[in-house]
A = this chain, B = another copy of it.
Amino acid sequence: MRNIKVILQYEGTRYQGWQKQDSTGNTIQGKLEALLSKMCGKKVEVDGSGRTDAGVHALGQVANFHIETEKTPEEIMDYMNGYLPEDIAVIQAEEVPERFHSRLNAKGKTYCYRVLNSDVPHIFDRRYVYAVPDELDMAAMRRAADALCGTHDYRAFTSNKRSKKSTVRTVDSIDIARIGDEIRFTFKGNGFLYHMVRIMTGTLLEVGMHKRDAEQMEWLLKEGVREDAGFLAPALGLTLVEVRYQ
């Protein structure tokens, strides 16, 4: 058995997220497993670096799978791109050691949340940006973003209430950049909880709109109550940019 690692791009708009479902859900993982199982003539399981929610996009999702095949990684990539729908693509494929696991070996991830800060629609990016026409206080958002970085218990920033797993994560940086009438929030960390990036974005946007105070972040982290944090920013603005290993 050979272990193949692939880097994937997808537009999440018409999918119910990464993770396959028991029912007839339209998922990225489901599409990939069906395709590879056909290629190999037997069931193939695909592991991803993590789930992306329904509607979330990826520029650099990483997955791996064990298969028996004579094909080179490049041939596997070409085969997959030949059969995948136009909103999913393999942009890199390589053979990796047997023990490599795209989720367990992931050391860090980068997510980008794109906000269109204008009341004029942007036609070409309309599936990838969330429109917030309100004036946004960049300095206040940056102060709040800095306070959200570090190693903390982020349970106020997840929708997953009953997990017994640790909700401690390390966020290395939250960069907020204005590019024309777009504001890009770039999150780097060792891992993110369910909905964490979108709730952090919603909270930062509320700070930017002066609906909450930038100095409140420490308290939010300490109290750990989901209802005290901001709204869940819509999925369409979020893209998984990169997964880091080693």
- Chain A interfacial positions (CB closer than 8 Å to B): 9-11, 57, 59, 81, 86-89, 91-92, 120-124, 126, 128
- B123 and A87: CB pair below 8 A? yes
- A123 and B10: CB pair below 8 A? yes
B residues less than 8 Å from A126 (CB atoms)? 86-87
* 8 A-B pairs closest in CB distance: A89-B121, A9-B123, A91-B120, A89-B123, A11-B123, A86-B126, A87-B123, A10-B123
B residues less than 8 Å from A88 (CB atoms)? 123
8 Å CB contact of A124 from B81, B122, B123, B128: B128
- A121 and B11: CB pair below 8 A? no
Q: Given known contacts A86-B126, A126-B86, is B57 in contact with A121 (CB within 8 Å)?
A: no
Q: Is the interface of A mostly helix, strand, loop or mixed?
A: mixed
What are 22 contact pairs spanning A and B, CB under 8 A?
A: A9-B121, A9-B122, A9-B123, A9-B124, A10-B123, A11-B123, A11-B124, A57-B124, A81-B120, A81-B121, A86-B123, A86-B126, A87-B123, A87-B126, A88-B123, A89-B120, A89-B121, A89-B122, A89-B123, A91-B120, A91-B121, A92-B120
Q: How far is the CA of A227 from the CA of B237 in the complex (A)?
A: 46
Q: How far is the CA of A217 from the CA of B201 in the complex (A)?
A: 54
Expressed in whole angstroms, the minimum distance between the Cβ of A199 and any Cβ of chain B is 25
B residues less than 8 Å from A81 (CB atoms)? 120-121
B residues less than 8 Å from A89 (CB atoms)? 120-123
B residues less than 8 Å from A10 (CB atoms)? 123
New A-B pairs, 11, CB < 8 Å, besides A9-B122, A89-B121, A89-B122: A9-B124, A10-B123, A57-B124, A59-B124, A81-B120, A81-B121, A86-B123, A87-B123, A88-B123, A91-B120, A124-B128
